[in-house]
Amino acid sequence: MGPSRTSPPGGGRRGVLFDVDGTLIDSSYIHTISWWGAFRQYGYDIPMASIHHFVGMGGDRLVDNLLPADRDRDADHEVMSSHGALYASHWPSLRALDGARELLAACHDRGLAVALASSARKKDLQVMKSILDADGVIDGATSANDAKESKPSPDILVAALRAVDLEAENAVFVGDAVWDMKAAAALGIPSVGVTCGGISAAELRDAGAVEVYEGPRDLLRNLESSAIGKLLLA
């Protein structure tokens, strides 16, 4: 048996929320090329660099930021559906980032609640959870179905906190996108950035990250001195 869930003096469990795309699964650039293809199908030629900047934001917000304001917005749903279909065609190529599974297990083994705070479609999340192969150390998970507003709105983090019975003051959030950092900041949750999704450490810090690592393996090596380790000592 593993250790019991850690509780701070004031009561309530502690835990870590994890973004999934680009944080635990190497999918940021697959999302980029899938959005690029979807936009091309509907006559929009959007540079991939511009698209990548908004990956991690909810699909509705991404489309609204990248397409002309005077477009036919009735087609937005079709564009998002096209992205979903193109992304699904890459499912066989998806891989867990180095150290992702071990990082989740290390947090769990230290008595922390572990939640996947993903705004991915439910079927995409199911695929990514299968790739992670870490269900035994994951206490809860969210998908786009669980949030009214997408990132950078904090709705998905609120849903993840609720899924594992956490209060914001007892949590740390790990993500790879500027929008992850902004969502955590809206709730006062310390955010740990990882650059494996392609966003620089400087951008993540500017968006509110309290510290930044190269990826799951780097964070795992420094777990005890990280914001997650400090959570255990609080």
Q: What is the CATH number of the domain that holds 57?
A: 1.10.150
Residue 7 lies in a domain: no
Cβ atoms within 10 Å of 81's Cβ, excluding its own: 12
Per-residue pLDDT at 202: 98
Q: What is the DSSP letter of 5?
A: P
Residue 8 lies in a domain: no
Per-residue pLDDT at 1: 35
Domain, as residue range, for 56: 28-92
Which pLDDT tens digit goes with each residue over 110-120? Answer: 999 999 999 88
Mean pLDDT of 54-81: 94
Return the amino acid letter for 168.
A
Q: Could you tell me the two tokens for 206?
A: 């500017």
**Is residue 4 over pLDDT 50?**
no
Mean pLDDT of 60-64: 94
Among 38, 57, 92, which residue terminates a domain?
92
Task: Tell whether omega for the bond before 92 is within 30 degrees of 0, i.e. cis.
Answer: no
Per-residue pLDDT at 9: 43
Separation between Cα atoms, residue 169 and residue 213, nearest integer Å: 22
pTM for the full predicted model: 0.93
Alpha-carbon radius of gyration of the chain? 17
Torsion sign across C-alpha atoms 210, 213, 217, 222: negative
Closest by CA position to 52, among listed 200, 208, 216, 202 = 200
Per-residue pLDDT at 87: 97
Mean pLDDT of 125-152: 92
Per-residue pLDDT at 11: 52
Mean pLDDT of 185-211: 98
- Average pLDDT of the chain, as a whole number: 93
Do 50 and 137 sit in the same domain of this protein?
no
Task: State the greatest distance between any 2 C-alpha atoms of the chain, in Å, as a whole number.
Answer: 59
Per-residue pLDDT at 147: 82
Do 136 and 214 sit in the same domain of this protein?
yes
